[in-house]
Structure 1
Protein backbone atom coordinates (compact mmCIF):
# COMPACT_ATOMS: atom_id res chain seq x y z
CA UNK A 1 0.00 0.00 0.00
CA UNK A 2 1.17 3.49 -0.82
CA UNK A 3 2.67 4.96 2.34
CA UNK A 4 0.90 8.28 1.76
CA UNK A 5 -2.62 7.56 2.91
CA UNK A 6 -5.63 9.87 3.21
CA UNK A 7 -8.56 9.03 5.47
CA UNK A 8 -11.86 10.72 4.63
CA UNK A 9 -14.61 11.33 7.12
CA UNK A 10 -17.91 10.49 5.40
CA UNK A 11 -21.00 12.16 6.89
CA UNK A 12 -21.05 15.87 5.94
CA UNK A 13 -17.43 15.77 4.73
CA UNK A 14 -18.06 13.52 1.71
CA UNK A 15 -21.83 13.07 1.75
CA UNK A 16 -24.38 15.89 1.75
CA UNK A 17 -26.83 15.56 4.63
CA UNK A 18 -29.04 18.37 3.31
CA UNK A 19 -31.06 15.81 1.33
CA UNK A 20 -32.51 14.81 4.71
CA UNK A 21 -34.04 18.25 5.32
CA UNK A 22 -37.35 17.63 3.47
CA UNK A 23 -37.73 14.38 5.44
CA UNK A 24 -37.28 16.23 8.74
CA UNK A 25 -39.75 18.89 7.62
CA UNK A 26 -42.23 16.15 6.76
CA UNK A 27 -41.99 14.35 10.09
CA UNK A 28 -40.98 17.11 12.51
CA UNK A 29 -42.38 20.25 10.88
CA UNK A 30 -39.05 22.05 10.45
CA UNK A 31 -36.06 21.08 8.33
CA UNK A 32 -33.69 22.67 10.86
CA UNK A 33 -34.31 19.76 13.19
CA UNK A 34 -31.92 17.82 10.94
CA UNK A 35 -28.96 19.83 12.22
CA UNK A 36 -30.23 19.43 15.77
CA UNK A 37 -30.54 15.67 15.29
CA UNK A 38 -27.04 15.25 13.89
CA UNK A 39 -25.54 17.32 16.71
CA UNK A 40 -27.37 15.17 19.26
CA UNK A 41 -26.11 12.05 17.49
CA UNK A 42 -22.50 13.21 17.64
CA UNK A 43 -22.90 14.29 21.27
CA UNK A 44 -24.28 10.92 22.34
CA UNK A 45 -21.53 9.04 20.48
CA UNK A 46 -18.94 11.07 22.39
CA UNK A 47 -20.69 10.35 25.70
CA UNK A 48 -20.67 6.63 24.88
CA UNK A 49 -16.97 6.51 24.00
CA UNK A 50 -16.01 8.47 27.14
CA UNK A 51 -18.15 6.29 29.43
CA UNK A 52 -17.40 3.03 27.61
CA UNK A 53 -20.96 2.33 26.45
CA UNK A 54 -20.91 -0.21 23.63
CA UNK A 55 -23.41 0.65 20.91
CA UNK A 56 -23.55 1.59 17.23
CA UNK A 57 -24.20 4.72 15.20
CA UNK A 58 -27.60 3.57 13.94
CA UNK A 59 -28.89 2.92 17.47
CA UNK A 60 -27.73 6.37 18.56
CA UNK A 61 -29.29 7.94 15.46
CA UNK A 62 -32.64 6.37 16.33
CA UNK A 63 -32.37 7.45 19.97
CA UNK A 64 -31.73 11.04 18.87
CA UNK A 65 -34.76 10.97 16.55
CA UNK A 66 -36.95 9.71 19.39
CA UNK A 67 -35.61 12.41 21.69
CA UNK A 68 -36.53 15.15 19.22
CA UNK A 69 -39.98 13.64 18.69
CA UNK A 70 -40.51 13.53 22.45
CA UNK A 71 -39.48 17.15 22.91
CA UNK A 72 -41.91 18.15 20.16
CA UNK A 73 -44.68 15.97 21.63
CA UNK A 74 -44.87 13.97 18.41
CA UNK A 75 -45.55 10.26 18.00
CA UNK A 76 -43.86 8.48 15.10
CA UNK A 77 -44.27 4.85 14.14
CA UNK A 78 -41.37 2.41 13.85
CA UNK A 79 -41.87 2.53 10.08
CA UNK A 80 -41.56 6.32 10.03
CA UNK A 81 -38.36 6.22 12.06
CA UNK A 82 -37.03 3.58 9.67
CA UNK A 83 -37.91 5.77 6.68
CA UNK A 84 -35.80 8.59 8.09
CA UNK A 85 -32.84 6.37 8.91
CA UNK A 86 -32.98 4.63 5.53
CA UNK A 87 -32.45 8.00 3.87
CA UNK A 88 -29.12 8.19 5.70
CA UNK A 89 -27.88 5.32 3.53
CA UNK A 90 -28.69 7.15 0.29
CA UNK A 91 -27.00 10.51 0.68
CA UNK A 92 -25.42 12.07 -2.42
CA UNK A 93 -21.78 13.12 -2.54
CA UNK A 94 -20.99 16.82 -2.47
CA UNK A 95 -20.30 18.12 -5.99
CA UNK A 96 -16.61 18.73 -5.25
CA UNK A 97 -15.89 15.17 -4.11
CA UNK A 98 -15.36 13.08 -7.21
CA UNK A 99 -13.08 15.60 -9.00
CA UNK A 100 -10.94 15.89 -5.86
CA UNK A 101 -10.68 12.14 -5.37
CA UNK A 102 -9.71 11.65 -9.02
CA UNK A 103 -6.87 14.17 -8.63
CA UNK A 104 -5.59 12.58 -5.44
CA UNK A 105 -5.65 9.06 -6.88
CA UNK A 106 -3.80 10.29 -9.97
CA UNK A 107 -1.18 11.81 -7.67
CA UNK A 108 -0.56 8.39 -6.12
CA UNK A 109 -2.38 8.66 -2.80
CA UNK A 110 -4.21 5.77 -1.17
CA UNK A 111 -7.75 6.89 -0.30
CA UNK A 112 -9.68 5.34 2.60
CA UNK A 113 -13.25 6.01 3.74
CA UNK A 114 -13.21 6.32 7.55
CA UNK A 115 -16.44 6.73 9.48
CA UNK A 116 -18.40 6.45 12.70
CA UNK A 117 -21.10 4.79 10.57
CA UNK A 118 -21.44 1.04 11.03
CA UNK A 119 -19.72 -1.19 8.49
CA UNK A 120 -23.03 -2.06 6.80
CA UNK A 121 -24.21 1.56 6.68
CA UNK A 122 -20.85 2.76 5.39
CA UNK A 123 -20.92 0.15 2.64
CA UNK A 124 -24.44 1.20 1.62
CA UNK A 125 -23.52 4.88 1.69
CA UNK A 126 -20.52 4.47 -0.60
CA UNK A 127 -22.41 2.20 -2.99
CA UNK A 128 -25.49 4.41 -3.23
CA UNK A 129 -23.36 7.53 -3.72
CA UNK A 130 -21.38 5.83 -6.50
CA UNK A 131 -18.08 6.23 -4.67
CA UNK A 132 -16.74 2.67 -4.33
CA UNK A 133 -14.36 3.01 -7.26
CA UNK A 134 -12.76 6.11 -5.76
CA UNK A 135 -11.68 4.50 -2.49
CA UNK A 136 -9.10 1.78 -1.92
CA UNK A 137 -10.78 0.61 1.28
CA UNK A 138 -13.37 1.56 3.90
CA UNK A 139 -12.87 1.47 7.66
CA UNK A 140 -15.66 1.71 10.23
CA UNK A 141 -14.75 2.40 13.85
CA UNK A 142 -17.52 -0.05 14.75
CA UNK A 143 -14.92 -2.82 14.60
CA UNK A 144 -12.88 -1.01 17.24
CA UNK A 145 -15.88 -0.65 19.56
CA UNK A 146 -15.49 3.11 19.78
CA UNK A 147 -16.21 6.37 17.97
CA UNK A 148 -14.13 9.26 16.69
CA UNK A 149 -12.59 11.39 18.17
CA UNK A 150 -11.33 8.69 20.54
CA UNK A 151 -7.61 8.12 20.19
CA UNK A 152 -8.43 4.42 19.88
CA UNK A 153 -10.47 5.08 16.73
CA UNK A 154 -7.55 6.65 14.87
CA UNK A 155 -5.10 4.10 16.25
CA UNK A 156 -7.36 1.34 14.97
CA UNK A 157 -7.08 2.79 11.46
CA UNK A 158 -3.30 3.15 11.80
CA UNK A 159 -2.94 -0.48 12.87
CA UNK A 160 -5.29 -1.75 10.18
CA UNK A 161 -3.43 0.12 7.45
CA UNK A 162 0.03 -0.80 8.72
CA UNK A 163 1.27 2.70 7.97
CA UNK A 164 2.94 5.08 10.46
CA UNK A 165 0.54 7.68 11.83
CA UNK A 166 2.73 10.50 10.50
CA UNK A 167 2.14 9.24 6.94
CA UNK A 168 -1.65 9.31 7.27
CA UNK A 169 -3.81 12.41 6.88
CA UNK A 170 -7.47 12.71 7.92
CA UNK A 171 -9.73 15.01 5.91
CA UNK A 172 -12.89 16.16 7.69
CA UNK A 173 -15.45 18.95 7.83
CA UNK A 174 -15.53 18.73 11.65
CA UNK A 175 -12.85 20.46 13.71
CA UNK A 176 -13.32 17.96 16.56
CA UNK A 177 -12.39 15.20 14.11
CA UNK A 178 -9.28 16.87 12.71
CA UNK A 179 -8.27 17.75 16.27
CA UNK A 180 -8.72 14.11 17.26
CA UNK A 181 -6.56 12.92 14.40
CA UNK A 182 -3.82 15.45 15.14
CA UNK A 183 -3.92 14.48 18.83
CA UNK A 184 -3.36 10.87 17.78
CA UNK A 185 -0.27 11.75 15.74
CA UNK A 186 -1.86 11.86 12.28
CA UNK A 187 -1.86 14.80 9.89
CA UNK A 188 -5.16 16.47 9.04
CA UNK A 189 -6.94 18.75 6.61
CA UNK A 190 -10.09 20.74 7.40
CA UNK A 191 -12.67 21.41 4.69
CA UNK A 192 -14.74 24.38 5.88
CA UNK A 193 -18.22 23.46 4.66
CA UNK A 194 -20.17 25.59 7.14
CA UNK A 195 -18.28 28.88 7.43
CA UNK A 196 -18.01 28.49 11.20
CA UNK A 197 -14.68 29.47 12.79
CA UNK A 198 -12.33 26.62 13.69
CA UNK A 199 -12.41 26.05 17.45
CA UNK A 200 -9.38 27.97 18.81
CA UNK A 201 -8.95 25.40 21.59
CA UNK A 202 -8.32 22.60 19.08
CA UNK A 203 -5.08 21.78 17.27
CA UNK A 204 -5.21 23.46 13.85
CA UNK A 205 -4.24 21.43 10.75
CA UNK A 206 -1.73 22.74 8.21
CA UNK A 207 -4.27 22.45 5.38
CA UNK A 208 -7.60 24.30 5.37
CA UNK A 209 -9.83 25.11 2.38
CA UNK A 210 -13.49 25.81 1.65
CA UNK A 211 -13.80 23.07 -0.98
CA UNK A 212 -12.52 19.51 -1.33
CA UNK A 213 -10.78 20.44 -4.57
CA UNK A 214 -8.90 23.12 -2.66
CA UNK A 215 -7.94 20.51 -0.07
CA UNK A 216 -6.73 18.14 -2.80
CA UNK A 217 -4.58 20.81 -4.44
CA UNK A 218 -2.88 21.64 -1.15
CA UNK A 219 -2.30 17.98 -0.27
CA UNK A 220 -0.73 17.31 -3.67
CA UNK A 221 1.43 20.41 -3.35
CA UNK A 222 2.60 19.32 0.11
CA UNK A 223 3.79 16.00 -1.35
CA UNK A 224 6.21 17.65 -3.76
Structure 2
Protein backbone atom coordinates (compact mmCIF):
# COMPACT_ATOMS: atom_id res chain seq x y z
CA UNK A 1 0.00 0.00 0.00
CA UNK A 2 1.12 3.55 -0.72
CA UNK A 3 -0.37 6.73 0.67
CA UNK A 4 -2.04 7.48 3.96
CA UNK A 5 -4.41 4.96 5.54
CA UNK A 6 -8.10 5.79 5.87
CA UNK A 7 -8.15 4.49 9.44
CA UNK A 8 -5.67 3.71 12.20
CA UNK A 9 -6.35 1.00 14.76
CA UNK A 10 -4.46 1.19 18.05
CA UNK A 11 -3.63 -1.55 20.50
CA UNK A 12 -4.73 -0.55 24.00
CA UNK A 13 -2.83 -2.03 26.96
CA UNK A 14 0.72 -0.63 27.08
CA UNK A 15 0.27 1.12 23.72
CA UNK A 16 -2.27 3.68 24.94
CA UNK A 17 -2.38 3.01 28.68
CA UNK A 18 0.34 2.08 31.14
CA UNK A 19 0.22 -0.65 33.78
CA UNK A 20 1.64 1.31 36.72
CA UNK A 21 -1.61 1.19 38.77
CA UNK A 22 -1.57 -2.61 38.51
CA UNK A 23 2.10 -2.70 39.53
CA UNK A 24 1.38 -0.42 42.49
CA UNK A 25 -1.48 -2.64 43.62
CA UNK A 26 0.73 -5.71 43.55
CA UNK A 27 3.58 -4.07 45.45
CA UNK A 28 0.97 -2.81 47.91
CA UNK A 29 0.39 -6.45 48.77
CA UNK A 30 4.13 -6.76 49.53
CA UNK A 31 4.86 -8.58 46.29
CA UNK A 32 8.08 -8.17 44.34
CA UNK A 33 8.22 -5.72 41.43
CA UNK A 34 8.79 -8.67 39.10
CA UNK A 35 5.28 -9.99 39.82
CA UNK A 36 3.56 -7.87 37.17
CA UNK A 37 5.90 -8.58 34.23
CA UNK A 38 5.94 -12.27 35.13
CA UNK A 39 2.15 -12.41 35.41
CA UNK A 40 1.53 -10.40 32.25
CA UNK A 41 3.99 -12.44 30.19
CA UNK A 42 2.50 -15.68 31.47
CA UNK A 43 -0.99 -14.43 30.63
CA UNK A 44 0.04 -13.72 27.04
CA UNK A 45 1.75 -17.08 26.73
CA UNK A 46 -1.30 -18.95 28.01
CA UNK A 47 -3.74 -16.98 25.86
CA UNK A 48 -1.60 -17.56 22.77
CA UNK A 49 -1.45 -21.29 23.59
CA UNK A 50 -5.23 -21.39 23.87
CA UNK A 51 -5.50 -19.68 20.50
CA UNK A 52 -3.15 -22.20 18.90
CA UNK A 53 -5.32 -25.07 20.13
CA UNK A 54 -8.74 -23.63 19.34
CA UNK A 55 -9.54 -22.42 22.85
CA UNK A 56 -10.42 -19.02 24.29
CA UNK A 57 -10.75 -17.34 27.66
CA UNK A 58 -11.27 -13.60 28.24
CA UNK A 59 -8.53 -11.30 29.50
CA UNK A 60 -9.63 -11.14 33.15
CA UNK A 61 -9.87 -14.91 33.43
CA UNK A 62 -6.46 -15.58 31.90
CA UNK A 63 -4.75 -12.88 33.97
CA UNK A 64 -6.41 -14.17 37.15
CA UNK A 65 -5.18 -17.69 36.39
CA UNK A 66 -1.70 -16.29 35.83
CA UNK A 67 -1.78 -14.54 39.20
CA UNK A 68 -2.75 -17.80 40.89
CA UNK A 69 0.52 -19.31 39.66
CA UNK A 70 2.89 -16.34 39.97
CA UNK A 71 1.47 -14.94 43.23
CA UNK A 72 -0.18 -17.85 45.06
CA UNK A 73 -0.18 -15.91 48.34
CA UNK A 74 -2.94 -13.63 47.03
CA UNK A 75 -6.45 -14.64 48.06
CA UNK A 76 -9.55 -14.25 45.88
CA UNK A 77 -10.38 -10.77 47.16
CA UNK A 78 -6.82 -9.54 46.64
CA UNK A 79 -6.75 -10.85 43.09
CA UNK A 80 -10.03 -9.06 42.38
CA UNK A 81 -8.44 -5.87 43.67
CA UNK A 82 -5.51 -6.35 41.30
CA UNK A 83 -7.84 -6.95 38.37
CA UNK A 84 -9.85 -3.85 39.22
CA UNK A 85 -6.67 -1.76 38.82
CA UNK A 86 -6.92 -2.33 35.06
CA UNK A 87 -9.78 0.16 35.20
CA UNK A 88 -7.39 2.87 36.43
CA UNK A 89 -4.58 2.57 33.89
CA UNK A 90 -2.62 5.74 33.17
CA UNK A 91 -2.55 7.27 29.69
CA UNK A 92 0.80 7.70 27.94
CA UNK A 93 1.66 11.33 27.09
CA UNK A 94 2.06 10.64 23.36
CA UNK A 95 -1.51 9.38 22.92
CA UNK A 96 -3.48 12.63 22.73
CA UNK A 97 -1.12 14.39 20.29
CA UNK A 98 -1.06 11.28 18.09
CA UNK A 99 -4.87 11.12 18.09
CA UNK A 100 -5.16 14.85 17.38
CA UNK A 101 -2.82 14.58 14.39
CA UNK A 102 -5.06 11.88 12.94
CA UNK A 103 -8.21 13.85 13.66
CA UNK A 104 -6.75 16.91 11.92
CA UNK A 105 -5.92 14.72 8.91
CA UNK A 106 -9.51 13.35 8.91
CA UNK A 107 -8.30 9.80 9.49
CA UNK A 108 -10.57 7.50 11.48
CA UNK A 109 -9.39 6.12 14.84
CA UNK A 110 -10.31 2.78 16.40
CA UNK A 111 -8.90 0.54 19.12
CA UNK A 112 -8.41 -3.22 19.09
CA UNK A 113 -7.71 -4.87 22.42
CA UNK A 114 -7.15 -8.31 23.90
CA UNK A 115 -9.02 -6.89 26.89
CA UNK A 116 -12.66 -5.88 27.10
CA UNK A 117 -14.31 -3.15 25.05
CA UNK A 118 -16.10 -1.92 28.17
CA UNK A 119 -12.87 -1.29 30.07
CA UNK A 120 -11.33 0.39 27.02
CA UNK A 121 -14.33 2.71 26.69
CA UNK A 122 -14.12 3.62 30.37
CA UNK A 123 -10.40 4.38 30.10
CA UNK A 124 -10.91 6.54 27.02
CA UNK A 125 -13.68 8.42 28.81
CA UNK A 126 -11.64 8.75 32.01
CA UNK A 127 -8.78 10.38 30.13
CA UNK A 128 -10.91 12.59 27.88
CA UNK A 129 -10.13 10.68 24.68
CA UNK A 130 -13.49 9.07 23.90
CA UNK A 131 -14.61 11.80 21.51
CA UNK A 132 -11.54 11.18 19.33
CA UNK A 133 -12.14 7.43 18.91
CA UNK A 134 -14.78 6.17 16.51
CA UNK A 135 -15.03 2.61 17.80
CA UNK A 136 -13.60 0.21 20.36
CA UNK A 137 -13.14 -3.39 19.25
CA UNK A 138 -12.33 -6.39 21.45
CA UNK A 139 -11.16 -9.92 20.74
CA UNK A 140 -14.17 -10.97 22.84
CA UNK A 141 -16.19 -10.45 19.66
CA UNK A 142 -14.32 -13.20 17.79
CA UNK A 143 -13.22 -15.36 20.74
CA UNK A 144 -9.53 -15.52 19.85
CA UNK A 145 -6.62 -13.31 20.93
CA UNK A 146 -4.33 -11.27 18.77
CA UNK A 147 -1.98 -12.00 17.02
CA UNK A 148 -4.24 -14.56 15.33
CA UNK A 149 -5.60 -13.05 12.08
CA UNK A 150 -9.27 -13.16 13.09
CA UNK A 151 -9.25 -10.06 15.35
CA UNK A 152 -7.55 -7.91 12.70
CA UNK A 153 -9.94 -9.12 10.00
CA UNK A 154 -12.86 -8.45 12.32
CA UNK A 155 -11.62 -4.89 12.79
CA UNK A 156 -11.65 -4.45 9.01
CA UNK A 157 -15.25 -5.65 8.89
CA UNK A 158 -16.24 -3.26 11.67
CA UNK A 159 -14.54 -0.38 9.86
CA UNK A 160 -15.89 -1.39 6.45
CA UNK A 161 -12.45 -0.99 4.87
CA UNK A 162 -10.01 -3.27 3.03
CA UNK A 163 -6.76 -4.24 4.73
CA UNK A 164 -4.65 -1.99 2.52
CA UNK A 165 -6.52 1.09 3.78
CA UNK A 166 -6.03 0.40 7.50
CA UNK A 167 -2.95 0.71 9.73
CA UNK A 168 -2.42 -1.10 13.03
CA UNK A 169 -0.23 0.69 15.58
CA UNK A 170 1.22 -0.97 18.68
CA UNK A 171 4.23 -1.08 20.98
CA UNK A 172 4.37 -4.89 20.81
CA UNK A 173 6.30 -6.40 17.90
CA UNK A 174 4.17 -9.56 18.03
CA UNK A 175 1.01 -7.47 17.54
CA UNK A 176 2.50 -5.60 14.60
CA UNK A 177 3.63 -8.90 13.10
CA UNK A 178 0.11 -10.33 13.41
CA UNK A 179 -1.46 -7.31 11.77
CA UNK A 180 1.04 -7.35 8.93
CA UNK A 181 0.37 -11.05 8.34
CA UNK A 182 -3.33 -10.17 8.07
CA UNK A 183 -2.51 -7.64 5.36
CA UNK A 184 -2.71 -4.38 7.30
CA UNK A 185 -0.27 -1.50 7.15
CA UNK A 186 1.68 -1.41 10.41
CA UNK A 187 3.40 1.03 12.73
CA UNK A 188 5.56 0.14 15.74
CA UNK A 189 6.55 2.50 18.56
CA UNK A 190 9.76 1.46 20.32
CA UNK A 191 9.13 3.09 23.72
CA UNK A 192 8.34 -0.26 25.39
CA UNK A 193 10.50 -2.94 23.77
CA UNK A 194 13.28 -0.68 22.42
CA UNK A 195 14.42 -3.26 19.85
CA UNK A 196 12.10 -4.87 17.30
CA UNK A 197 12.49 -8.66 17.50
CA UNK A 198 14.29 -9.92 14.41
CA UNK A 199 12.07 -13.00 14.13
CA UNK A 200 9.05 -10.84 13.26
CA UNK A 201 8.28 -9.07 10.00
CA UNK A 202 9.40 -5.43 10.20
CA UNK A 203 6.75 -2.71 10.50
CA UNK A 204 5.96 -0.43 7.59
CA UNK A 205 6.84 2.57 9.75
CA UNK A 206 8.33 2.95 13.20
CA UNK A 207 9.27 5.64 15.68
CA UNK A 208 10.29 6.28 19.25
CA UNK A 209 6.69 7.02 20.25
CA UNK A 210 3.18 7.18 18.84
CA UNK A 211 3.61 10.71 17.52
CA UNK A 212 6.61 9.71 15.42
CA UNK A 213 4.74 6.66 14.12
CA UNK A 214 1.69 8.70 13.15
CA UNK A 215 3.84 11.37 11.51
CA UNK A 216 5.49 8.62 9.45
CA UNK A 217 2.11 7.23 8.41
CA UNK A 218 0.89 10.69 7.43
CA UNK A 219 4.03 11.27 5.37
CA UNK A 220 3.39 8.23 3.16
Structure 1 vs Structure 2 CA RMSD: 1.6
What residue number does 2:45 align with? Answer: 43
| 3-state SS of paired residue (1:146) | coil
CA distance in 2, matches of 1:53, 1:181: 20
Moved more, 77-86 or 169-178: 77-86
What residue number does 1:17 align with? Answer: 19
What residue number does 1:131 align with? Answer: 129
- 1:29 to 1:84, Cα distance in 2 relative to 1, 3 A: same
Per-residue CA distance 1:57-86 (angstroms, 9 max, x = gap): 11001111111113xxx2x22221111111
Q: Choose from 50, 53, 67 the match for 2:69.
A: 67
Q: Structure 1 runs of 4+ off > 4 angstroms?
A: none
Per-residue CA distance 1:121-159 (angstroms, 9 max, x = gap): 222232233321121111111111111000111111112
What residue number does 2:210 align with? Answer: 212
Moved more, 182-191 or 2-11: 2-11
**Aligned pairs for 1:190-209 within 5 A:** 190-209=188-207
CA distance in 2, matches of 1:195, 1:38: 14
Structure 2: 5+ residue stretches without partners: none
Q: How many residues are aligned here?
A: 217
Structure 1: 5+ residue stretches without partners: none
Return the TM-score normalized by structure 2.
Answer: 0.93
Return the TM-score normalized by structure 1.
Answer: 0.92
